[in-house]
Amino acid sequence: MMRDLTPLESRVAAIGLLVLVLVGMYLVMVRPYVNMKRAYAESRVIAQDRLLRYRAQASRREAILDQLEKIKSSEQVKGYYLAQPTPALASAEIQAKVKQAVRASGGQLVSTHVVAAQTDVGTVPVTVKVGMKGAVESVRKLFHSLESGRPMLFIDNVTLRALTTRRYNRRLKQKPPQLDVRFDLTAYVRLTAS
Protein backbone atom coordinates (compact mmCIF):
# COMPACT_ATOMS: atom_id res chain seq x y z
CA MET A 1 0.00 0.00 0.00
CA MET A 2 1.15 3.42 -0.84
CA ARG A 3 0.65 6.23 1.52
CA ASP A 4 0.49 9.88 0.70
CA LEU A 5 3.52 12.00 1.44
CA THR A 6 3.30 14.74 3.98
CA PRO A 7 3.94 18.28 2.74
CA LEU A 8 7.44 18.25 4.29
CA GLU A 9 8.32 14.91 2.64
CA SER A 10 6.99 16.21 -0.68
CA ARG A 11 9.24 19.26 -0.48
CA VAL A 12 12.27 17.15 0.45
CA ALA A 13 11.55 14.73 -2.43
CA ALA A 14 11.08 17.63 -4.86
CA ILE A 15 14.31 19.25 -3.74
CA GLY A 16 16.10 15.88 -4.02
CA LEU A 17 14.76 15.37 -7.58
CA LEU A 18 15.78 18.92 -8.50
CA VAL A 19 19.31 18.35 -7.16
CA LEU A 20 19.48 15.02 -9.03
CA VAL A 21 18.37 16.69 -12.30
CA LEU A 22 20.87 19.54 -11.83
CA VAL A 23 23.76 17.11 -11.12
CA GLY A 24 22.75 15.06 -14.16
CA MET A 25 22.67 18.16 -16.37
CA TYR A 26 26.08 19.21 -15.03
CA LEU A 27 27.58 15.78 -15.75
CA VAL A 28 26.01 15.49 -19.21
CA MET A 29 26.27 19.06 -20.49
CA VAL A 30 28.44 21.40 -18.43
CA ARG A 31 31.34 19.18 -17.37
CA PRO A 32 32.25 17.98 -20.91
CA TYR A 33 32.08 21.59 -22.12
CA VAL A 34 34.39 22.78 -19.32
CA ASN A 35 36.83 19.90 -19.94
CA MET A 36 36.87 20.61 -23.68
CA LYS A 37 37.51 24.29 -23.05
CA ARG A 38 40.37 23.45 -20.67
CA ALA A 39 41.92 21.06 -23.23
CA TYR A 40 41.70 23.71 -25.96
CA ALA A 41 43.32 26.27 -23.68
CA GLU A 42 46.21 23.89 -22.90
CA SER A 43 46.64 23.11 -26.61
CA ARG A 44 46.71 26.80 -27.41
CA VAL A 45 49.40 27.45 -24.77
CA ILE A 46 51.50 24.56 -26.14
CA ALA A 47 51.06 25.82 -29.72
CA GLN A 48 52.01 29.37 -28.72
CA ASP A 49 55.13 28.10 -26.95
CA ARG A 50 56.09 26.04 -30.01
CA LEU A 51 55.48 29.03 -32.27
CA LEU A 52 57.76 31.21 -30.11
CA ARG A 53 60.52 28.60 -30.29
CA TYR A 54 60.14 28.31 -34.09
CA ARG A 55 60.27 32.07 -34.48
CA ALA A 56 63.42 32.22 -32.35
CA GLN A 57 65.03 29.55 -34.52
CA ALA A 58 63.91 31.28 -37.71
CA SER A 59 65.44 34.55 -36.54
CA ARG A 60 68.82 32.79 -36.23
CA ARG A 61 68.59 31.32 -39.74
CA GLU A 62 71.03 33.70 -41.45
CA ALA A 63 73.65 33.29 -38.72
CA ILE A 64 73.35 29.50 -38.90
CA LEU A 65 73.61 29.51 -42.71
CA ASP A 66 76.74 31.67 -42.50
CA GLN A 67 78.24 29.29 -39.95
CA LEU A 68 77.37 26.33 -42.16
CA GLU A 69 79.13 27.90 -45.14
CA LYS A 70 82.24 28.54 -43.02
CA ILE A 71 82.24 24.92 -41.89
CA LYS A 72 81.76 23.63 -45.44
CA SER A 73 84.71 25.65 -46.72
CA SER A 74 86.94 24.84 -43.75
CA GLU A 75 90.13 22.94 -44.54
CA GLN A 76 89.70 20.82 -41.43
CA VAL A 77 86.33 19.49 -42.67
CA LYS A 78 87.77 18.64 -46.06
CA GLY A 79 89.93 16.02 -44.36
CA TYR A 80 86.83 14.03 -43.50
CA TYR A 81 85.97 13.49 -47.17
CA LEU A 82 87.73 11.39 -49.76
CA ALA A 83 90.25 13.40 -51.76
CA GLN A 84 89.16 12.08 -55.15
CA PRO A 85 86.86 14.28 -57.28
CA THR A 86 84.61 11.48 -58.62
CA PRO A 87 82.86 8.47 -57.11
CA ALA A 88 84.77 6.07 -59.39
CA LEU A 89 88.16 7.34 -58.23
CA ALA A 90 86.91 7.51 -54.64
CA SER A 91 85.86 3.84 -54.71
CA ALA A 92 89.35 2.92 -55.92
CA GLU A 93 90.78 4.94 -53.01
CA ILE A 94 88.54 3.08 -50.54
CA GLN A 95 89.58 -0.28 -52.01
CA ALA A 96 93.24 0.62 -51.63
CA LYS A 97 92.70 1.71 -48.01
CA VAL A 98 90.86 -1.54 -47.23
CA LYS A 99 93.56 -3.66 -48.83
CA GLN A 100 96.27 -1.89 -46.84
CA ALA A 101 94.29 -2.01 -43.57
CA VAL A 102 93.44 -5.72 -43.92
CA ARG A 103 97.08 -6.54 -44.60
CA ALA A 104 98.22 -4.44 -41.61
CA SER A 105 95.70 -6.12 -39.28
CA GLY A 106 96.84 -9.62 -40.24
CA GLY A 107 93.67 -10.58 -42.12
CA GLN A 108 93.18 -11.88 -45.63
CA LEU A 109 91.17 -9.85 -48.14
CA VAL A 110 88.76 -12.08 -50.06
CA SER A 111 86.80 -9.60 -52.16
CA THR A 112 85.77 -6.00 -52.68
CA HIS A 113 82.80 -4.88 -54.71
CA VAL A 114 81.87 -1.29 -55.48
CA VAL A 115 78.24 -0.31 -55.01
CA ALA A 116 77.08 2.17 -57.64
CA ALA A 117 76.96 5.71 -56.30
CA GLN A 118 74.44 8.33 -57.32
CA THR A 119 76.26 11.19 -58.96
CA ASP A 120 74.91 14.62 -58.23
CA VAL A 121 76.16 17.98 -57.05
CA GLY A 122 76.94 17.96 -53.33
CA THR A 123 78.02 15.14 -51.04
CA VAL A 124 77.83 11.62 -52.45
CA PRO A 125 78.26 8.39 -50.48
CA VAL A 126 80.62 5.83 -52.00
CA THR A 127 80.20 2.28 -50.69
CA VAL A 128 82.40 -0.77 -51.13
CA LYS A 129 81.28 -4.23 -50.03
CA VAL A 130 84.21 -6.03 -48.39
CA GLY A 131 84.79 -9.72 -47.69
CA MET A 132 87.74 -10.88 -45.59
CA LYS A 133 88.99 -13.69 -43.38
CA GLY A 134 90.88 -13.30 -40.16
CA ALA A 135 91.07 -13.89 -36.45
CA VAL A 136 88.92 -11.94 -34.02
CA GLU A 137 91.87 -9.74 -33.08
CA SER A 138 92.54 -8.99 -36.77
CA VAL A 139 88.94 -7.94 -37.30
CA ARG A 140 89.04 -5.72 -34.21
CA LYS A 141 92.26 -4.03 -35.40
CA LEU A 142 90.83 -3.59 -38.89
CA PHE A 143 87.59 -2.00 -37.72
CA HIS A 144 89.45 0.30 -35.37
CA SER A 145 91.90 1.44 -38.02
CA LEU A 146 89.17 2.04 -40.60
CA GLU A 147 86.81 4.01 -38.37
CA SER A 148 89.39 6.03 -36.44
CA GLY A 149 91.35 7.52 -39.35
CA ARG A 150 90.77 10.12 -41.98
CA PRO A 151 88.97 10.40 -44.29
CA MET A 152 85.98 9.23 -42.29
CA LEU A 153 84.95 5.69 -43.17
CA PHE A 154 81.74 4.11 -41.87
CA ILE A 155 81.32 0.36 -41.36
CA ASP A 156 77.81 -0.97 -41.78
CA ASN A 157 75.93 -4.26 -42.37
CA VAL A 158 78.54 -6.42 -40.63
CA THR A 159 78.19 -10.20 -40.91
CA LEU A 160 80.52 -12.48 -38.96
CA ARG A 161 80.69 -16.25 -39.41
CA ALA A 162 83.09 -18.71 -37.78
CA LEU A 163 85.15 -20.71 -40.26
CA THR A 164 86.67 -23.17 -37.78
CA THR A 165 84.65 -25.31 -35.39
CA ARG A 166 87.37 -26.68 -33.11
CA ARG A 167 87.86 -24.90 -29.80
CA TYR A 168 90.81 -22.57 -29.47
CA ASN A 169 93.32 -23.49 -26.76
CA ARG A 170 96.17 -21.05 -26.06
CA ARG A 171 98.18 -23.60 -24.06
CA LEU A 172 98.40 -25.85 -27.11
CA LYS A 173 99.48 -22.86 -29.25
CA GLN A 174 96.70 -23.52 -31.71
CA LYS A 175 95.85 -21.04 -34.41
CA PRO A 176 93.01 -18.74 -33.21
CA PRO A 177 89.58 -19.36 -34.78
CA GLN A 178 89.09 -17.70 -38.13
CA LEU A 179 86.10 -15.57 -39.09
CA ASP A 180 84.51 -14.90 -42.44
CA VAL A 181 83.64 -11.19 -42.30
CA ARG A 182 81.43 -9.27 -44.71
CA PHE A 183 80.68 -5.55 -44.33
CA ASP A 184 79.93 -2.35 -46.21
CA LEU A 185 82.46 0.45 -46.01
CA THR A 186 81.15 3.92 -46.86
CA ALA A 187 82.92 7.24 -47.31
CA TYR A 188 81.80 10.53 -48.78
CA VAL A 189 82.98 12.56 -51.77
CA ARG A 190 82.28 16.26 -52.17
CA LEU A 191 81.39 16.95 -55.75
CA THR A 192 81.66 20.43 -57.21
CA ALA A 193 79.13 21.95 -59.54
CA SER A 194 80.35 21.97 -63.12
DSSP per position, 125-165: EEEEEEEEEEEHHHHHHHHHHHHHSSS--EEEEEEEEES--
SS3 116: coil
Out of 3.30.70.270, 3.50.50.60, 3.55.10.10, 3.30.70.60, which CATH number does the structure's domain 78-191 have?
Answer: 3.30.70.60
Within 10 Å of residue 89's Cβ, how many Cβ atoms?
A: 14
Q: What is the DSSP letter of 192?
A: -
Residue 36 pLDDT: 92
Going from the C-alpha of 23 to that of each of 16, 28, 34, the distances in angstroms are 11, 9, 15
Residue 164 pLDDT: 65
Percent helix, strand and coil across the chain, each rounded to 5? 55, 25, 25
Going from the C-alpha of 187 to that of each of 53, 91, 169, 177, the distances in angstroms are 35, 9, 38, 30
Q: How far apart are CA 94 and CA 188, in angstroms?
A: 10
Sign of CA dihedral 165, 169, 173, 177: positive
Residue 194 pLDDT: 47
Residue 44 pLDDT: 95
**Can you point out the beta strands (E) in the chain?**
108-115, 122-135, 154-162, 178-191
Per-residue pLDDT tens digits for 114-129:
887 666 567 788 899 9
Each domain of the chain, given as residue ranges in start order, spans 7-59, 78-191
Residue 29 pLDDT: 87
Q: How far apart are CA 59 and CA 14, in angstroms?
A: 65
Residue 39 pLDDT: 93
pTM score: 0.57
Residue 188 pLDDT: 86
pLDDT tens-digit profile, the chain (194 residues): 677 888 888 898 899 999 999 999 888 888 889 899 999 999 999 999 999 999 998 899 898 888 888 877 776 667 777 777 777 888 888 888 889 888 888 888 888 888 876 665 677 888 999 999 988 889 999 999 988 888 888 999 999 998 765 665 555 566 777 889 999 999 888 776 54
